[in-house]
Structure formats: C-alpha cells, structure tokens
A and B are shown apart, each in its own frame.
Chain A
C-alpha cells in the first residue's frame, strides 16, 4: 500500500515554509500599524461627527466590512494601476506601475481592511472612557491631544485590546490570501512546493501547524500585555479580596481618618 500520509514531509516542509515567514510578518506588522493609525483617525472623525468625512468613513467602513477580503485584494491589485494611470494622465507624470512591488497592493488592502474593522472597536473603546477623567484633565489645562495621548488612549486600550488581539490573529491568517496579488509568502510557497511534489495535504498541514503556532504565540503575547495594562484592576481585586490592605489609618489635620477596614466600600467590586 502506498504511503497515504508522509509524516516526515510534514516536518521537513516547515523550515522551507518558514523562510517566507518574514514576508508574512512584514505584511502583518505594517498593515496593523498603519491600519490602527487609520482606525484611530476614522474613529475620532466619527466620534467628533466631522461633516463630510463622517459620511465618507461610514460608507467606507460599511463597504469594507460588507465585502470579502479576497475581493478587496483584487480591487487593490487591479485598482491601484488604474488610479496611477489616471494620475499620470492628469498630472503629466510617467510613473511606471511595474516599479510598484506586489507587496504594496497587499499592504494597502490589508491596512484598509484592518482600519475598517478596528475603527469600530476603537470607537467603542473611546466611548467607554469615563468622561469625568477627561473633564479632570481638561480642568488641569491639558490640551485635547495631551488628553488623547495620556488619558483617553491608554484607558481605551484596556477595553479594545482583546478585540485587537483577535483582529491581529485574523490578519495573520488573512495573509494566506496575499498570493492572489503575486506576493510569495508562506501559503504561496506551500503551493509552489505542493505543485512540485503533489503532496498537497502534507504541505497544507505544515502550513496549518505554522499558523496555529503563530496564533498561540500571539495569544500569549496579548495576554501578557493585557495583564500588564490591567494591573490597576488586578491590584484592586487583591485588595478587595482583603489579602492586602492599606496600612494604618492616618491623621489628617487633626482628624482621624476611618480605619482601613471601613475604607473599602461596596462600590469597589472586583472587576
């Protein structure tokens, strides 16, 4: 009986496929960074209800969320050259479409896709920030940008992080579609290998293992970050559980403050 599954090949494929991991990671990192930046802008524009831009971004988000990523990749791949031709025609320039690497089309499609999905997440997280803290920052004389950077974004990040983590994982897996735009990343290399030896199952299983490990690593990293930025909540839990309490009550201006045991009110529930 012929060998139905070549287990050894599953393992030997992995180093070959991993040679293209940097391409996958580059798509993920660039798309995520640019996508998050765009997402923040879209979220802020929609929150501030800036006329014109709000409507434009609402349609854009709806369009991106309502169409498959594969179609968006094709639109980027075929649309950008058309846009460049128009640019050349109206501005009398001579940019050559062949000088644009395939990676660029993929990056644009992924970044816009990320921006659309994350903007909703970020918008919700920004809305969840306690308005009292923003008012306190305003009353201290902080500018809007300082408030955004020092108060709003760090607070919103706590809320947004779990969803951002999931989105990041989707993006890693989504990069397997990049081959349609001509980028040779891990999946594309897998297809090339399988085209040579016809062991499609083994190659795709190797790919599945790599993507799975990448996802697990991402989950662990997200969990560590989550734990770190949530430390103000974690300590709250410890204290309300009664294992670590503030030290002795103190005298303030001649008045004895309440003993530590009564300093924890019912509104300080574990989060």
Chain B
C-alpha cells in the first residue's frame, strides 16, 4: 500500500504541491490525470525519492519515510520498494536489452550472471522481445525501448509499479504496443499496486481501479474510473475532459 500524508514540494520557491494526502490500497491501479505541469510526475518521483519533498510522510510498501529525516541507506531501501517506468525510457544505452533487464538483478540482488540472464530473457519474452535480447537501445524503436523498460521493472520483483507517462514520448502508431504490454502486465499481476500518470484516458478507463484528477498540486476529484471519467463532478475535471475529448477528436 502507499500512503502520502501532508506532502509538500517546491522547486526554487515555486510550490508544486502543499500538504497533499493520498492513500492507495494494495492491488489498486491508481491513475493520476490532469493538465501538464500540475505536479503529477513530481508526486510519483517523491514516492521513490527521485525528488525529495520538504515536508510530509510517505509509506510505500514495507518502507516509510519522513521528509528531511532520510539516511542514504534508507533512500536505497525505499527506492527498492517500487519500480519505475519513465517517459523517456531511460535505458542504459551501453547495455543490450537483456543486460538492461539483468542489471538490477546482478548489482542490487547479487543474482549470479547466468541466472540473471535467464530471468532477463524470460522477462523479455513476456513483453514479446525475445528476438531483440542482444540489441542495444539505439537499435530499438521507441515502443520496443519502453517494453524493455517494462521488462526491466518487472525483473526487480517490486510489487509497486510507478508508470510516469509511459507512452507520452511515443509516436501514435507505437503507443498501442506499449499499452498492450501494460494491459498484460496488469492482468498477470493482480497483486501489484500501480500508480499511473497518463493522458491515455481510454487506457485509464480500461485498467484503473481508481482515478484522481490533479491540478495545480491539488487533488480535485477522486473516484472510480467511471465516476471521474464518465460523470465528473468537479467543474475543472469536466473542463479538462471536455477539452481533452475535443483535442482527441481534432487529432483523429
């Protein structure tokens, strides 16, 4: 489970969010939607301490921290509690697909190299990239890179998956393959807690068990996917969804 209490974060005097509270139950798939720059990704990055909040408490899986009182060892432990898929894939470009997946197994979990390779190949097979195991990231398409990144996350065995706009950097024709992979991941791991920041509202509707609408560092609306996306109560949610639908229509 994830619990966020009174979390505040500023970037050079600009408040991203203040006294934010959020609870995500184990096995929930929470989608955070909202306009760009509203602090969605920053919230996600505060959960695994890629960003350090100024105040507040966070419980993530079996670990917890209080802002401002975190030792270096605690940071590493908290980060190991979850795993993240990034917008820009962030693959290690000097390592092949299987080496990318095996890296955390070898370095963090001290699994022997041969076993790590077997596990990496198995994870790559799950995302349909067996034949690409020896390819370097530079040889893969955006969609394939993101699928390698998903396999890399799954290999950590962390049961908390943080997905930071996993399809935003992809051409529209490549989005489908990544969403299909994610759909499969979610179906295969019902015990995983997933926090998803995404603009893919159709996908959110299909997989999310809970949706929050986030704007200017505040949660304006929370509910099931149907409640928030089909029958939004807050005026800003309605405006956002209507504008978003218009943009989608114009785009198509």
Contacts and interface: CB of A to CB of B under 8 A. Distances in A.
A255 B107 contact: no
B177 A247 contact: no
A21 interface: no
A141 B86 contact: no
Nearest to B155: A140
Interface-centre pick from A246, A252, A255, A268 (highest chain B CB count, 10 A):
A252
Contacts, number: 132
Interface in A218-260: 229, 232-233, 235-236, 239, 246-248, 250-255, 257-258
Interface-centre pick from B128, B139, B173 (highest chain A CB count, 10 A):
B139
A151 B76 contact: no
B141 A255 contact: no
A68 interface: no
Interface residues of B, number: 55
Interface in B149-199: 149, 152, 156, 162, 171, 173-174, 176-177, 179-181, 183-184
Given A135-B86, A138-B79, A246 B127 contact: no
Given A140-B83, A235-B139, A253 B181 contact: yes
A143 B80 CA distance: 11
A258 B50 contact: no
A263 B141 contact: yes
Given A151-B92, A235-B136, A258 B143 contact: yes
A138 B94 CA distance: 17
A236 B50 CA distance: 30
A140 B156 contact: yes
A179 B137 CA distance: 51
Interface string B211-245: 00000000000000000000000000000000000
B42 interface: no
Interface in A143-185: 143-144, 146, 150-151, 154-155, 158
B7 interface: no
A246 B129 CA distance: 10
A236 B104 contact: no
B90 interface: yes
A265 B173 CA distance: 12
Given A138-B50, A232-B136, A253 B142 contact: no
B8 interface: no
B139 A265 contact: no
A133 B139 contact: no
Contacts of B80: 140-141
Contact of B108 (A133, A140, A229, A265): A140
B185 to A, nearest CB: 9
B139 A143 contact: no
A258 B177 contact: yes
Contacts of B96: 232
Given A136-B90, A141-B80, A236-B139, 20 more contacts: A132-B86, A133-B90, A133-B93, A135-B50, A136-B149, A141-B108, A141-B156, A143-B76, A150-B103, A232-B93, A235-B135, A235-B136, A235-B138, A246-B131, A247-B131, A248-B131, A255-B176, A264-B141, A265-B171, A268-B138
Interface of A: 130, 132-133, 135-144, 146, 150-151, 154-155, 158, 229, 232-233, 235-236, 239, 246-248, 250-255, 257-258, 262-265, 268
